[in-house]
Amino acid sequence: MLSARFEEALAFAARLHREQKRKGSDIPYVAHLLAVASFAIEHGADEDEAIAALLHDAVEDQGGSVIRAEIERRFGPGVAGIVDECSDTDQEPKPPWRERKDAYLAHLASASRSALLVTACDKLHNVRSILADYDRLGEELWKRFNGGREGTLWYYRSVVDALAGRLDSPVVDELRETVEAIEERARRGLAAG
């Protein structure tokens, strides 16, 4: 069961991200955080992992090391450690996109099981959203991503490959299947274009 710590984390995450929207949409960002936490819980997350799922983007999007210290103070070093491992940067301005993604992928080789679980759930929600938006928007979708079509597909395929040997969980299979569905639509889009 989840305790009052989870409720506190939910309120904290909602406050931190209240002004943020999902990329290219009017969807409040907290919807993503709730989905990632839900996936994590459904795939066996303990309370620290579930809280980290709610807060996985707080360091990189909402204040860097200051927010990291606040997460540790409120929720402990276990949660803060998982959030650290799920963050691709705490710098502002952020380093270039490809540099961050390469470093993050390299980091997955030594990340904890907890961080791998939260990462898989985060990426699963992202690719499910991409797939739904791709069906609706077609090739226009790729304009919202720093990596464009090729970079975005490369990144998510690379995440699947990095997780496949390290995390034995159905969430990795779901992630792989969704990435493959996006890749197939992208191939069809190229062939039609």
Integer Cα distance of 48 and 129 in angstroms: 25
Other beta carbons within 10 angstroms of residue 174's beta carbon come to 17
Report helix, strand or coil for 61.
helix
- Measured CA angle at 166 (ends 44, 75), to 5 deg: 45
- Whether residue 93 is preceded by a cis peptide bond, meaning omega within 30 degrees of 0, is yes
Integer Cα distance of 187 and 189 in angstroms: 5
Q: Please identify which of the residues 60, 85, 88, 122 carries the catalytic annotation.
A: 60
- Measured CA angle at 168 (ends 167, 169), to 5 deg: 100
Whether 61 sits among the annotated catalytic residues: the reply is yes
Q: Please identify which of the residues 61, 90, 133, 139 carries the catalytic annotation.
A: 61
Going along the chain, which residue ranges are E strands? Answer: none
Tokens describing residue 26: 């009017």
Which of these, 121, 19, 4, lies nearest to 74 by C-alpha position?
Answer: 4
Q: Which residues are known catalytic residues? A: 60-61
